[in-house]
Structure 1
Amino acid sequence: MSLPAHPLQRRLAHALLRKAERSEGGRTVSLPLDAQTLPELHDAPSPQALAHLELLLDGLAKTGWVRLKADKARAFQTLADRRPALLLLDAAALAEWSGFEPATPRWSRQLVQALREHATLLAVPDAPALLDYLLRSPLPAFQGQEPAACAAVLNALAADCRAAPALTPYLREISARHFRGHSKVLDAREELLRLLGAGEASFLEAPIQLLVDLPEDWTGDEVLFIENGVSFERMAGQRQPPWAHTALLYAAGFRSGARRLRERKGSSIYWRGRMSAANIERFETWLYGGTAEPAVGFYGDLDFAGLAILAQLRMSFPTCSAWRPGYDALLSALGSGHAPGDAGKERQQDPVVTGCAFADEVLLPALRTTGRCMDQELWPGATTKAG
């Protein structure tokens, strides 16, 4: 794909990707378009110049790899007044489109150079392509290792990729086998595995485990994802009017947002208690078949990480919204909530935008204004009654 038509788009794409490189992962990366990042927006010499900048930003957002977020427009405000920011959605696609070259650490450059100089160490399908990949996408598990030891691991991985065992292994089992018990090294390393000879069915990804509680009279109209296990158990065990007829779902943390949740091979359902055959069929038809569209809600902690889960869920369930009964209760108590640093949340990143109007216009502004957080276990709790 060709580079962006305008240098400004390329500049912003690279700034966003550099920020992503510095982040530790697991959180949404956003780039505020403040006067330092985009002075052209804040010092536009004319309405025409401002309109041109907005067209460039809209064009960048229309790629689908970033999202342009801004506060709700008010009278006489320009885009610069509305706290605009870019939200990263697909780093790999944006990097390819913008010609971004990630920084390669020195140890990885030295490793690749050593393997190029001793080509006989590698016994893989395409050694030059593999080394180009390692230069673009270093494997941290190799840091501090001798080139011969790294080559031995890659050769053994290639052998496993070519093998056809009677029982297909899980990818994390393969990772643990070759990386000293570390099961997550090969996560999101599809290109590496392809270069080593793996096919689409060579390894299995661990299915998401989804715990489900259905009321006896569930009609298929309401589904609620719950972030924390304690809250799930409380609400499933003591149903109250706001969720009396709602299917309750629990999948730990950010895993709830995985796209594989809606694939039969990507998730495993575990039923809490006995469910009727009709309800089971109705639920699985919705989850895997997409033939029905119930109201889907999410209820989790009132903090940036919780609302980031909501944003991820919306990738699989586009109509998912913050569940008003639970979040209204937490919001009313937010002023007396805990500071992020009191609960190890100081490094949580503002998701900037979730796509849910209630979250974007009410909950996120409240978190930014108060600087407080509230865990969902507060409500309904053991004694609180739903109103």
Structure 2
Amino acid sequence: MSHRQSAPQWLSEEPLILRLLNSFIDKLERGVRPQLRVSAKTTPELYDFEEDVDYLWALLDSLDKDHHLITIKKSRVKPYQPTYEGAQLLFLPEREEQVRQWLERPAIDPYALVWQHELEKLSVLPPAAQGLAQTIVRIPELGAEKTLRGFLRIDEVLRKPMTLRALSARCFQGDSKVLERYEPLVRQLYPDLASHILPRPLLLAVYLPQSFQKLLFVENQDSFLALAQRRPPTTALIYSAGFRGSALRMREPEQVVFSYLDATAPSCVDFERFWFSDRQDRLVHFWGDLDYAAMGILKAVRQSFTEASAWLPGYDPMLEQLRAGEGHSSTSANKGLQKDPGLTGCQWADDCLLPAIRQTNAFVDQEFVDIPPLRLNG
């Protein structure tokens, strides 16, 4: 590891060097490439021949060869021109911290400056302004001004009940997802209005037979619809759509909206009576991709349906495919960065499915399975 060099003793006595180094830092802060071409306009000291210009140039050359702060690229010169005429001085950005130390110029946060400037422009400071002065929110696609004004607008918008997505869209240029990660901050900034934030109900599609004995959560749409077309006589199918079906509140009344496929009114009543109870007396299975994300869904489903297990008829052919070396890489771009859930609580998933994923470092998608031959009573 390299150690920081102390500033040379001559630095404080050389206005040209100080000015050039400061100009490079200025450019870095503005997001401009830190470079300069030597000319009578940019470095007049080198053209004042009452000065020791050779000494000044030697100092600049030292910044390159001795201190490695800049790179000097010389241009071709005519015999009567100084050797440094038209030379290009390129500052090395990785040396910014070193130069800031020499100049006693600590790093600044341009975004924080804009954030503070926008707060200072407000003629009337709303109650949330103090909290926003202490908490800087960085949403790069919006920038400091639009982000700050969006958060301040919540005070006038959140005067009636609405979902967080509706609030976000009305405060952030129609973007309903900006506030997804900032609900705790919204509640902290506006404690008197937080009760107006409505929970967003889960929307679950359900195939429901006349009388059901089992529940099968299905992760992906194509597989769910293909299973529903077979109209299993005793199995209710729930399209979990990723993690939506695994939320802890999915068995709480008024937190879920069901969309039924060809269900009768009595069967819906029976299904919802079971769903919103604490009963655990029906078989519950989960079937999704053979990957870490799906195993995470299974783990979460078991928090609401404690005996839920991986569905063997669906996962068995996927497991064979994986063990045959026919899975796709766990690092493929469309899978994102998935985390191993550890243990799901389902013995077969923990003893067989997850170890197979770990050993092969590969996944198999649910759509691999041919639906018609599946045993729906498994």
TM-score range, shorter chain: 0.5 to 0.7
Deviations 1:202-237 (A, max 9, x none): 13233211111122232xx42111001111111121
Cα displacement (A) at 1:256: 1.3
Flag the structure with more relative contact order, 1 or 2, with Cα contacts below 8 A and sequence separation at least 6.
Answer: 1
Q: Secondary structure of 2:358's match?
A: helix
Of 257, 261, 268 in structure 2, the residue corresponding to residue 268 of structure 1 is 257
Cα displacement (A) at 1:300: 0.3
Q: Which residue of 2 aligns with 1:323?
A: 311
Equivalenced residue count is 267
* Same amino acid, percent of matched pairs: 34
Q: Work out the CA distance in 2 between the residues paired with 1:199 and 1:316.
A: 30
| Cα separation, partners in 2 of 1:107 and 1:307, compared to 1, 3 Å | farther
Q: Which residue of 1 aligns with 2:206?
A: 212
Q: Secondary structure of 2:209's match?
A: coil
Q: Which residue of 1 aligns with 2:165?
A: 172
Q: Work out the CA distance in 2 between the residues paired with 1:119 and 1:378.
A: 58
Q: Is the 8 A contact 2:222 2:367 kept in 1?
A: yes
Q: Which structure has the larger Rg?
A: 2
Cα displacement (A) at 1:239: 4.5
Cα displacement (A) at 1:174: 1.7
Q: How do 1:289-328 and structure 2 match up within 5 A?
A: 289-328=277-316
Q: Which residue of 1 aligns with 2:127?
A: 125
Unaligned runs of 5+ in 2: 1-107
- The one-letter code matched in structure 1 to 2:215 is V
Cα displacement (A) at 1:106: 4.4
Q: How do 1:134-173 and structure 2 match up within 5 A?
A: 134-135=135-136, 138-140=137-139, 144-146=143-145, 149-161=146-158, 163-164=159-160, 168-173=161-166
Of 226, 248, 252 in structure 1, the residue corresponding to residue 237 of structure 2 is 248
Runs of 4+ in 1 over 6 A off after TM superposition: none
Q: Work out the CA distance in 1 between the residues paired with 2:285 and 2:374.
A: 21
Please give the TM-score of this superposition, normalised by the length of structure 1. Answer: 0.61
Of 153, 171, 185 in structure 1, the residue corresponding to residue 178 of structure 2 is 185
Q: Work out the CA distance in 2 between the residues paired with 1:384 and 1:315.
A: 27
Of 357, 360, 365 in structure 2, the residue corresponding to residue 370 of structure 1 is 360
- The one-letter code matched in structure 2 to 1:235 is L
- The one-letter code matched in structure 1 to 2:154 is L
Q: Which residue of 2 aligns with 1:68?
A: none
Deviations 1:117-163 (A, max 9, x none): x284564334333433x24xx342686333xx5443233211122x2
Q: Is the 8 A contact 1:130 1:192 kept in 2?
A: no
Cα displacement (A) at 1:293: 3.5
Query: Is the counterpart of residue 232 in structure 1 residue 224 in structure 2?
Result: yes
Cα displacement (A) at 1:301: 0.6
Q: Work out the CA distance in 2 between the residues paired with 1:367 and 1:140.
A: 36
| Cα separation, partners in 2 of 1:318 and 1:154, compared to 1, 3 Å | same
Please give the TM-score of this superposition, normalised by the length of structure 2. Answer: 0.62
Q: Is the 8 A contact 1:122 1:151 kept in 2?
A: no
